[in-house]
Copies of this chain bind each other. A is one copy, B any other.
């Protein structure tokens, strides 16, 4: 009993597995929204039940202070078969999803998943559309169903691989309780040898890839306070600071004319891109102009830090972005107001050895030095995580490469991602674990955007890859 039986089971039960995914997607687990607390916990419970049915021992671990004020961590464990000689795998995923807004831009309801014909030119297929379809419920589901297949086929959890599964519910809101959890559970989690995550992307449709590096993140909120009340812009315009005007003037200084971040020392821990890496990335043939056209942009929109192409900017260069800004009257029509305050959410993507805590501190200092006359900054740190780059020659990564090649029929590429998976940096720092990022998303999946989707052929590749990976691990 082995990989062909497990593969047979998942192929035969593929539709049933997708139906299960749709059930999970129907639970609006918007972890960052207090109004969705109940549903977020329900999504955790749902995942736990799925793991139990695959033979895992499962516990929902409370997080936060006071206890259980955070979202629970779904912890699944299986001891492995006697004589198993491969690594102990720590699978990490998350069951929370991004907020669905702006709702009016969704073509179908974000929490009523639908399967639609895929439109991608020339390639037939289907896609599942819902918030979380890809990020991260869809990707986690490939792993969960592969585990189900091995258990159904062999009667042994994970087919005999020694495994810990950790699914959190706060990834989309900064994993605020994960650090403490990992530190507190160091002994238990430290038994793992390597981490496995499905939350990254492929190089393109039909082009599987393993991601060997992700960017870090530092997310902040900046509130500029002026007068203690909203003012009439006729009586006060030109007489006192307008927080809207002043915030715009300060934030505009965050980039220089080369689109480099102007915070002193920001680039000190950024490493230059090696010639080999630059060459290897070029050979991947990423078409950044085509990618822009997919989001409605002309080639002239290929802008970013001077001296780097789009792939280099995404994979190896840090950024500063205003993710949100609001101040004054934003309803229909006109209101002649000078607001009491204006605010912005400003985040940084980090690379190499950039320390998110240092970046937040330096940014806040940078802001304070630019405090507009008569105004006051209120500064909030929403958390973040370290960048992570892992070795490309480890045993586990090699096993994953083999599994993907066999499962997909094409050798995976080695890529990086501009996104952030802070847990990877955390597990490296606290437990010394490297991470294998085996993900199957596409750039066009609209994660974090309206009409998020996941192509079923990508799902299928991921499902098969996870089935074969277990076999590769058993052979070690």
Q: Which residues of A contact B (CB under 8 A)?
A: 32-34, 98-99, 101-102, 105, 172-174, 201, 214-215, 217, 219, 221, 226-242, 244-245, 248-249, 251-255, 259, 288, 291-292, 295-298, 300-305, 310, 313-314, 317-339, 342-345, 347, 349, 372-375, 382-383, 417-420, 443, 446-451
Contact = CB atoms under 8 A, between A and B. Distances in A.
A330 B335 contact: no
Contacts of A318: 238
Nearest to A441: B235
Contacts of A252: 248-249, 251-253
A450 B230 contact: yes
Given A34-B332, A238-B304, A334-B347, 7 more contacts: A32-B335, A201-B235, A229-B451, A232-B447, A239-B291, A244-B321, A252-B253
B227 A349 contact: no
Contacts of A214: 234
Contacts of A375: 301
Nearest to A230: B449
A237 B337 CA distance: 32
16 contacts: A32-B333, A33-B332, A101-B329, A226-B297, A229-B296, A229-B451, A230-B448, A237-B314, A237-B418, A252-B252, A322-B327, A323-B339, A324-B339, A326-B327, A330-B343, A334-B345
Contacts of A240: 292, 295, 297, 301-304
Nearest to A233: B321
How many copies the complex holds: the figure is 2
A172, A252, A317, most chain B CB atoms within 10 A: A252
A288 B239 contact: yes
Given A244-B323, A244-B324, A328-B322, A333 B382 contact: yes
Given A234-B349, A373-B303, A32 B322 contact: no
A336 B328 CA distance: 23
Contacts of A448: 230-233, 335-337
B322 A228 contact: no
A219 B320 CA distance: 31
A317 B255 contact: no
A236, A319, A334, A342, most chain B CB atoms within 10 A: A334
A217 B318 CA distance: 42
A217 to B, nearest CB: 7
A182 to B, nearest CB: 20
A417 B238 CA distance: 12
A101, A229, A238, A301, most chain B CB atoms within 10 A: A238
Given A239-B418, A337-B449, A374 B328 contact: no
Contacts of A347: 233, 334, 336
Nearest to A303: B373
A265 B329 CA distance: 28
Contacts of A334: 32, 172-174, 219, 221, 323, 345, 347, 382-383
A231 B294 CA distance: 12
B374 A300 contact: yes
Nearest to A374: B301
A323 B233 contact: yes
B244 A215 contact: no
A130 to B, nearest CB: 16
A245 B330 contact: no
A79 B105 CA distance: 58
Contact of A330 (B201, B253, B326, B332): B326
A287 B248 CA distance: 29
